[in-house]
Amino acid sequence: MALMILSFVSQLWALSLRGEQRGSCPLMDTGEYCLFLSWSLTLFYLLVGSTYRVSLLGMFTAPVVTVLLLVTGLPGVLDVNPVHANVLDYWGEVHAPLSVLSYGALALGAVAAVMFLVLNNFLKTGQMSSGLFQNMPPVHTLVGSMVRLTIVGLIFLTIGLVFGFFMSTDGGLHLWVAKVVWIAYLVLMAVWFIRGMTPQRMAMLLLVMFIASLSVFAAL
């Protein structure tokens, strides 16, 4: 936990430096996206980890944060001489961070989904003697975290999307993908609450949707 707090503060400091250099929200290159996403993921971990006492979540979250930070550190990923923004699009300045923030919550939801799948496999196959199994939170807690984090992510995504509609520049394909992602998560939540779904299917869908949407955004 202490390491995650330290990491969070360091990421915040790095983001503020980039923000100063940019004169705008630091979400202009791949490195900044990775850094912001890692910060957002750490933020939600710190909020959820302490609120719901989901032990071991940190153990599953830390590697994702590490990978994101390593990608940020790769040569050429982070622009060495960031261009200072002369004109600011305030709608865009809110749209981008809210969207990445939503991905922080969705990423942590995906982490909880992975944890659920691991635990589910232990329970279904009767492998219940390992230390990992003993220390994992119950199914009910993990499923609850998965759903709550997806709802939080969906709320941020919705607000971000609304701000996106008012941006001065045409969002183009990026905005269309965002709309599809938003609809997909909305449908998933609606099915979960109205029709019901097995936790295993929910976890797999959350994981696939997160990886797929992130990959599409990264490719754009």
Partner 1 sequence: MDLICIGLNHETAPVEVREKFAVPMEQLGVKSHELTELAGISEAVVISTCNRMEVYVASESVEEAEVSLKDKLDYAADNEHFYEFKSKDAMQHLCKVVSGLDSMVLGETEIFGQVKKAYQFAHGAAATGGILNKIFQKSFGVGKKVRTQTMIQNGQTSVGSVALDLAEKIFSDLKHSKVMVIGAGEMSRITVQSMVLRGVKKVYVTNRSFDKAQALADEVGGEAVRFDDWNKVLTEVDVVISSTGASEPVVTRAQIEAVRSKRKYRPLFIIDIAVPRDIDHEVGEIEEVYLYDLDTLQQQVEQGKAKREEQIAACEKIISKEVDGMAQTATNIKRKKYGNS
Residues forming the site for partner 1 (CB under 8 A): 119, 123-124, 126, 128-129, 134, 136-141, 195-201
Cα 142 from Cα 150, distance rounded (Å): 12
Q: Of 176 and 193, which CB lies nearer to partner 1 in the complex structure? A: 193
Contact 97, 25 (CB under 8 A): yes
In whole angstroms, how close is the CB of 114 to partner 1 at the nearest point? 17
Structure-token pair, residue 34: 């990775």
Length of the chain: 220
Least distance (Å) between residue 137 CB and partner 1: 8
- Residue number, 46 or 191, with CB nearest to partner 1: 191
- Whichever of 101 and 112 has its CB closer to partner 1, that residue is 112
Q: C-beta of 168: minimal distance to partner 1 in Å?
A: 45
Residue showing tokens 């969906």: 154
CB of 189 to partner 1, least distance (A): 14
- Can you spell out the DSSP letters for 177-216? HHHHHHHHHHHHHHIIIII---HHHHHHHHHHHHHHHHHH
Q: In the complex, what is the shortest distance from the CB of residue 190 to partner 1, in angstroms, rounded to a whole number? A: 13
Query: Which residues lie below 8 Å from residue 215, measured CB to CB, with a gap of 6+?
Result: none
Nearer to partner 1, 4 or 115 (CB): 115
Instruction: Choose among 148, 149, 124, 120: nearest CA to 136.
Output: 120
Is 91 or 133 the residue whose CB approaches partner 1 more closely?
A: 133
